[in-house]
Amino acid sequence: MALNYDLLPSLLVIITMSFLVRGQAISDYKLIGHEIQAEQEADRVVGLPGQPSSVKFKHFAGYVTVNETHGRAFFYWFFEAVDKPQDKPLVLWLNGGPGCSSIGFGAAEELGPFFPQNGGKPKLKFNPYTWNNAANLLFLESPVGVGFSYTNTSSDITNLGDTITAQDSYIFLINWFRRFPQYKSHDFYIAGESYAGHYVPQLSEVIFDKNKRAQKRNYINLKGFMIGNALLDDETDQKGMIDYAWDHAVISDTLYEGIKSKCNFSDPNPPNDCDILMNQYFDVYKIIDMYSLYTPTCIINGNSTVTRQQQRPVFQRFGTPKNLFHKYQQQGWHKRSAGYDPCASEYTAVYLNRPDVQAALHANVTKIPYPWTHCSENISFWKDAPASVLPIIRKLVTGGLRVWVYSGDTDGRIPVTATRYTLKKLGLEITQDWTPWYNNEEVGGWTVEYKGLVFVTIRGAGHEVPQFAPRQALLLIEHFLANKNLPAKPF
């Protein structure tokens, strides 16, 4: 018999009354049950401007406190599965940056159910390839300072880094599951792209380690994670980025040979000669889209948003200015790919800054003194990040988590070339080599199966795979969750 989640608090009360005879205990538990129900209902999204009337699934949005002392709170948007949410796993999606919004990119332009459209009135287009066809889907804006997430302690913004992001995200999950306890027993997975190549394994490691000694109320049923076009290893990511650009006729032989000669890919502080050459390299991507080589850029009022989005303040790391060759180079990590509609980000920004939309989403309750943006203009310092997350991935593979890595093969920022170099460096045994998989009658990409890890390429997709290849992306998440091989034959 299917469980009606709306009745869960009442059912918990009935079950508790069967086992507890002390009236005070019964009363306290009953009160907690009603509190949970009230908290969920307070976060339920109704009357979202422009939402298609045919939508039947529930969705919720709001804030979860991660540090009461500092007043840090993360904003989330949660979509129940389209069908039978009680039987589906839970997937947390994270975008990267660092400092970019999973609501703006992931939910509103990639894999969520609603995509904002152009026009004077708010309009949302239903995405038939939404990932809540396959799972209950949770989006999170992290760390504080990103999107609607906030802190009441200004010094928090200058103390951000990989470590605090993972720790706060873990606290978010603990508290979110207390608000939505009906999902606590579901299989839980984390997925993400780009700089989430750090976020996802690091959060998975925190959960993995905490679970070993966690009380039952804090145990998270983590089963695995999936990351795409992901920053994993500085050396191989940078080497692959340059090799891919030359191989795809983006840069000249002269520039390519110069970079290879002057830049040490394993050196986090390259010489000035390398910086000069890397400036020339990035100049090319002012006129084409680095994140999707073969799609158009957005032109509004005669100006390309590619150039505009590169005009951002420079990150600092450990108090010293970073250089172009480092992953903190903001014009690289905060740049937005084009996609089917290269101006989708413009529509999303307009939509999420509408007061009626924010009210429906229970967002911006503290009236932050700046507009919502895809990538934070306030985060200009990143305190810590390892040069490689491969030791974490190796640890979690050995620990039995399901791990898939995927790559859209037209991305120039963290290209398939880089990911192949990185996985070779990881050193896992190959159990099934380069094999095509199919999206209907067309090749969808290729797979390589390692001992404990699966690598998937997505043919024709850019940096944000669900945006460029939505049907292939849905097949990907469905097969990942089912732990099944992608279709090996046309269908």
- The catalytic position among 101, 102, 194, 292 is 194
Residue 338: both structure tokens together: 């084009």
In DSSP notation, 252-306 reads -HHHHHHHHHH--TT-SS--HHHHHHHHHHHHHTTTS-TTSTTSPPPEETTEEHH
Domain count, the chain: 1
Distance CA 152, CA 41 (A): 26
- Decide: 186 and 221 in contact? Cβ < 8 Å: yes
What lies within 8 Å, CB to CB, of 108 at 6+ separation is: 114, 115, 116, 348, 351, 352
Please name the residues in contact with 38: beta carbons below 8 A apart, sequence gap of 6 or more.
Answer: none
The pTM assigned to this predicted structure is 0.88
The active-site residue out of 43, 289, 341, 411 is 411
| Of 79, 125, 168, the residue nearest 361 (C-alpha) | 79
**Residue written as token pair 């640890």:** 395
Q: What whole-number distance in Å separates Cα of residue 224 and Cα of residue 246?
A: 35
In a domain, 125, yes or no: yes
| Helix, strand, coil share of the chain (percent; to 5) | 40, 20, 40
Indicate whether 237 belongs to any domain.
no
User: Do the domain assignments include residue 301?
Assistant: no
The pLDDT assigned to 300 comes to 63
Told to judge if 362 belongs to the known catalytic residues of this protein, a careful annotator would answer no
Asked, for residue 219, whether it belongs to a domain, the answer is yes
Is residue 433 included in any domain, yes or no?
no
CATH number at residue 157: 3.40.50.1820
Q: What is the pLDDT of residue 301?
A: 58
List per-residue pLDDT tens for the chain, 491 residues long.
444 444 444 444 333 333 333 233 333 333 448 899 999 999 999 999 999 999 999 999 999 999 999 999 999 999 999 999 999 999 999 999 999 999 999 999 999 999 999 988 999 999 999 999 999 999 999 999 999 999 999 999 999 999 999 999 999 999 999 999 999 999 999 999 999 999 999 999 999 999 999 999 999 999 999 999 999 999 999 999 999 999 999 999 999 999 999 999 998 888 999 999 999 999 999 999 999 999 887 776 555 544 333 323 333 333 332 333 333 443 333 333 333 466 888 999 999 999 999 999 999 999 998 999 999 999 989 999 999 999 999 999 999 999 999 999 999 999 999 999 999 999 999 999 999 999 999 999 999 999 999 999 999 999 999 999 999 999 999 999 999 999 999 99
Residue 248 annotated among the catalytic residues of the structure: no
The alpha carbon of residue 180 and the mean position of all alpha carbons in its chain are separated, in whole angstroms, by 21
Whether the CB-CB separation of 419 and 240 falls below 8 Å is answered with yes
Residue 92: give the domain boundaries: 59-230+384-408
Q: What is the pLDDT of residue 296?
A: 83
Residue 302 confidence (pLDDT) = 54
User: What is each CA distance from 140 to 75, 115, 399, 487, in whole angstroms?
Assistant: 6, 17, 26, 31
Would you call 247 a catalytic residue per the annotation? no
Confidence (pLDDT) at 341:
62
> Cβ-count burial of 318 within 10 angstroms (0-12 exposed, 13-18 middle, 19+ buried)?
exposed
Residue 258, domain member (yes or no) = no
Structure confidence at residue 240 (pLDDT): 98
Distance between CA atoms of residues 63 and 178, nearest Å: 13
* pLDDT at site 339: 38
In 188-261, beta strands by DSSP E: 188-193, 222-228
DSSP 113: S
Q: Which residues of 437-476 are buried (b: 16+ CB within 10 A; e: fewer)?
A: bbbeeeebbbbbbbebbbbbbbbbbbbbbbbbbbebbbbb
Report yes or no on 25 lying in a domain. no
In one-letter notation, the amino acid at residue 22 is R
pLDDT of residue 303: 54
In a domain? residue 395: yes
- Specify the pLDDT at position 33: 86
What's the confidence (pLDDT) of residue 119?
Answer: 86
d(CA 347, CA 349): 6
